[in-house]
Amino acid sequence: MNVVALAGGTGAAKLLRGLCQVMPPSQLTIIGNTGDDLELYGLHISPDLDTVGYTLAGLIDTAKGWGVAGDTFHARAMLERLGESTYFALGDRDLAVHIFRTERLGRGGSLSAVTAELAKQWGLACRLLPMSDDPVRTRVRTPRGWLAFQEFFVRERCEPEVLEVAYEGAARSRPAPGVLEALAAADAIVICPSNPMSSVGPILAVPGIRQALAERRDAVTAVSPIVGGGAVSGPAGKMMLAHGHALTPAGVAGIYEGLLARLVIDRRDADWAPALRDRGIQPIVTDSMMTHHEQEIALARVVLEAFR
């Protein structure tokens, strides 16, 4: 069974780690968000691809949910001494990955090629694809103007009011090589429990990808990142509200309108099951929180079962 997963960062990575335990990883293709990529000090950073890669390679700092376990921040301290802005914390081991990626891109390599190379060196058995080799940048409009996603997310700690979320460059971007082919050939397509606005939204904004999912709607299962009236983590809530989406499974279903056959929701949201059925979406009620590794595996099982 070929499984394709649309993935953001931490939440997605946990489910993906679970999936790799309950299916042959070689049959898993991950389409990762690059809308929150950024350039710092001339280095190309792909936070979501790296979070997924680090997690599946067993390198992730589990406590923080990002970066490499046990990493040090000595280069950052020197950059600070040199007067650079260091709000975006880059560990020393992490930095090596960005240096590696930037060097390849500088030589004309594509983001998909360097992502494949990183995945191989990390020993990943699954396939990790960026959504696009073209730059797509999520931007957040606040009362003080537009912010790059990481400025909003990290520098401003998600504190500003969100008026709008947009995907700069999306209109002229193309899906990375293999993305549409993987979606067309998938037996199952999973939309991970990631921020629908800033993690999955950019992927769906790449021309051709939303349509490819719509055509495979019967194969698509999403896992709701909204549980008990709020986002499990991150700024999904205020972003969804800014665009008029309720913080409920129905709100999530609204964002993925026309794309879903099934939506996995948490037990505490079981009351929403009828409303989902009314929209033609099969609700799958389970324990969807992934605090422990066992829960990742259990949730992955539920997601795969849904396709059988």
What is the gyration radius of the CA atoms in the chain, in angstroms?
18
**Does residue 72 bind a second copy (CB under 8 A)?**
yes
Note whether 99 binds a second copy by CB under 8 A.
yes
Give me the phi and psi of 299, to 5 degrees please: -65, -40
The answer to whether 164 and 234 have CB atoms below 8 angstroms apart is no
CA-to-CA distance for 57 and 132, rounded, in angstroms? Answer: 22
Q: Is 68 in the site for a second copy (CB under 8 A)?
A: yes
Size of the site for a second copy (CB under 8 A): 33
- For residue 213, how far is the Cα from the chain centroid? 16
Burial class (CB in 10 A: 0-12, 13-18, 19+), 70: exposed
Q: Does residue 26 belong to the site contacting a second copy (CB under 8 A)? A: no
Spell out, one character per residue from 39 to 58, where the chain touches a second copy: x when CB under 8 A holds, - when not: --xxx---------------
Can you tell me which of 2, 22, 93, 158 binds a second copy, judged by CB under 8 A?
93
Query: What's the rounded Cα separation, in Å, for the pair 194 and 133?
Result: 21
- Residue of 37, 48, 71, 269 that binds a second copy (CB under 8 A): 71
Q: How far is the CB of 146 from a second copy (least distance, A)?
A: 23
Contact set for a second copy, span 142-181 (CB under 8 A): none
Chosen residue from 96, 163, 275, 298 binding a second copy by CB under 8 A:
96
**What are the C-alpha distances in Å from 71 to residues 25, 36, 44, 60, 96?**
27, 22, 19, 10, 11
Q: Does 97 interact with a second copy (rule: CB under 8 A)? A: yes
Tell me if 113 contacts a second copy by CB under 8 A: no
Q: Any idea what DSSP says for residue 153?
A: I
Subset of 223-282 contacting a second copy (CB under 8 A):
none
User: Binding mask 121-140 vs a second copy (x if CB under 8 A, - otherwise)?
Assistant: xx------------------
